[in-house]
Structure 1
Amino acid sequence: MRTILKWAAVLAIAAMPVAATAFSARALPVQVDPDIVAAGKQLKAKLDSAARDTAPTLRNADAPLVRRAFSEKALRALPATPAIGDACVSIGEAIVAYVDYATRTAEGETDPAKAHDAIILAIQDELTLGTVAANICTKLGFVAVVQVVEGMSASDRTRVTGPLTQMRQGASMTFRGTLDSSADPAMRPANRGMMLTALVEAAVSAAPSLLPADRAPLRERALELARGATPEARKQLDAIAQGFATTACDVLCKAAGGS
């Protein structure tokens, strides 16, 4: 699988705001931290116009912007309401912009696919921060939506079946993309550790909202990767597999027909 597909799978986080929109009328009015949203938009704008070797990175003057756009601390400070979808959108769009930058920069090269992957790996630190933020956002999004759906009537839950399905599918793709990205042999150990740490947290929290059919392939993939992993990564992958092995089925799982 090409690197672009691994990273692009993480972008399924954009499905979460679809659900958030459906529930917004029932959510308490909350002001999402404008800094993380504005930073994400600014980062995307810079990436959209960046020429070769001018993209915002953690190694140039735009490092503070990158850190604000993918700030785990800012995400964790947000209230647990569907309004968090605004922050998740900005994170997803910034990750897309990095992938688009790599694609655009690789055009015209003798081997565009190889050049693209080389660029992606060169900005793996930035994409790692984005992947961590995407996983944390997925976790927080499920926490928020579970709280809203628990207060809905049975008929109201039926009306949001579509957004809930998109949310589950998006989360599954985000988790699978994180697993696949962490398995890239060119991934620096520190980045792999950061991604897997975030996924451990997200898996344990969000797994009860997924259907058994969603969890099973994620558990199998984690176990598959664990067999060839370093001792440290194996411990994290085992924890991820254990998270997806849960038989718990919360209100979102039940709304989809789970039990």
Structure 2
Amino acid sequence: MKPLVRVLAAFVWLGLSVLSAEAGISADNQKESAAAFQTLDAAARETRKVGSMPRLSNADQAKVLSRFWNAESTLGNPPYRATDIPGLMTVGERAALVFKSYALFTAQPGGIPDTNVNAAAYQGEISRAGAYLLKVFAAELEAATDFFATLPKEQMNDARRNGLRQMRLGIMQEVTGIALMLRSPDLRPENRRVLLDALTDTAPSIAAATTPLDRQAMVAQVGSLLPALNDEERAKAETLKNAFAGQDCTGLCLISDQ
């Protein structure tokens, strides 16, 4: 899960202070995210006692999970500005923790997680956790784009370039990992749709902040997935592929992190 840590640390390296923000993500959104996370954490503590994590198949637990992954109530709505970054960071930390908790779950404290077993057993929860994480990434990148667009040229230093590089690297590694989940023959159609929809919906924001080289890599990866998809899924994947194949390079795309 190092890519997730890299993304969170990058925002600190950009030189941003962690203050509350009133813009794309409001104070009410942040409070709802915190409350939803606390409720989910409490539910997870209970289910861990019987060797499991909260499940979508359990009606009560599904309500708790759906509340946490409700992007409108916890992330607000675009456009996201630089002032939103602190709030988005906190929401992102929670989203990453939940995603990791399912992917690395083990019934035995201190035990070694079997990620393949978890990916199959909790694929519904992991798919939705991944989809929510993509939405957070897209919002963070939009806010970061505004930050750099309004940053005076003389304040663009090596530390901020390093922060930008780490942020891009971490996010693209996670996006790639989520896209690779589509390869699994055990992934049920409804969960593949969840991932494809999230990847397609967030692709414009993520691609706009991605370097041309990383865009090319994503295009190649998505192209390799196409033969294994049905017609409906392939159409969505083509939309995803086209988003990264675009030649326009503005905003963060124009900024070298070298």
Q: In structure 2, do the counterparts of structure 1 residues 142 and 150 end up closer, same or farther at CA, with 3 Å as the change threshold?
A: same
CA 1:237–1:105 in 2, change beyond 3 Å: closer, same or farther? farther
Structure 2: distance between partners of 1:257 and 1:166: 9
- Residue aligned with 1:29, SS: coil
Whole-angstrom distance in 2 between the partners of 1:226 and 1:45: 40
Q: Structure 1: give runs of 5+ residues left out of the alignment.
A: 1-7
Match of 2:205 in 1: 205
Structure 2 stretches lacking a partner, 5+ long: none
Is contact 2:203–2:243 with CA below 8 Å preserved after alignment? yes
Partner of 1:136: 135
Q: Which residue of 2 aligns with 1:65?
A: 64
Residue equivalent to 1:118 = 117
Q: Is the 8 A contact 1:12 1:170 kept in 2?
A: yes
| Structure 2 CA distance for aligned equivalents of residues 28 and 148 of structure 1 | 16
Establish whether residue 94 from structure 1 lines up as the match of residue 95 from structure 2: no
Change (3 A) 1:75 1:238: farther
Q: Which whole-Å CA distance do the structure 1 matches of 2:20 and 2:253 have between them?
A: 23
TM superposition outliers: structure 1 runs of 4+ over 6 Å: none
Q: Is the 8 A contact 1:27 1:148 kept in 2?
A: no
Alpha-carbon distance between aligned partners in 2 of 1:59 and 1:227, rounded to the nearest angstrom: 31
Q: Against the structure 1 CA distance between its residues 167 and 59, is the aligned structure 2 distance closer, same or farther, given a 3 Å change threshold?
A: same
Rounded to whole Å, the distance in 1 between the matches of 2:196 and 2:67 is 21
TM-score relative to the length of structure 1 = 0.82
Instruction: Tell me: CA distance 1:200–1:152, structure 2 relative to 1, closer, same or farther (3 Å).
Output: same
- Determine the C-alpha separation between the residues in 2 that align with 1:136 and 1:187: 21
- Give the Cα–Cα distance (whole angstroms) in 1 for the partners of residues 138 and 125 of structure 2: 20
Identity of aligned residues (%): 18
Normalising by structure 2, report the TM-score. Answer: 0.82
Question: Please, which moves more after superposition, 52-61 or 64-73?
Answer: 52-61
Shift of the 102–242 alpha-carbon distance from structure 1 to 2, 3 Å rule, reads farther
CA contact 1:215–1:245 (8 Å) conserved in 2: yes
Q: CA deviation at 1:130?
A: 0.6
Structure 1 pair 76–42 and aligned structure 2 pair: CA distance change class (3 A): closer
Does the CA-based 8 Å contact 1:209-1:253 persist in structure 2? Answer: yes
C-alpha distance in 1, partners of 2:42/2:160?
A: 33
Structural RMSD (CA)? 2.8
Q: 1:257 to 1:219 in 2, by over 3 A?
A: same
Contact residue 91 and residue 130 of structure 1 kept, 8 A = yes
Q: Could you tell which deviates more after superposition, 135-144 or 67-76?
A: 67-76
Letter in 1 for 2:16: S
Instruction: Name the SS for the 2:16 alignment partner.
Output: helix
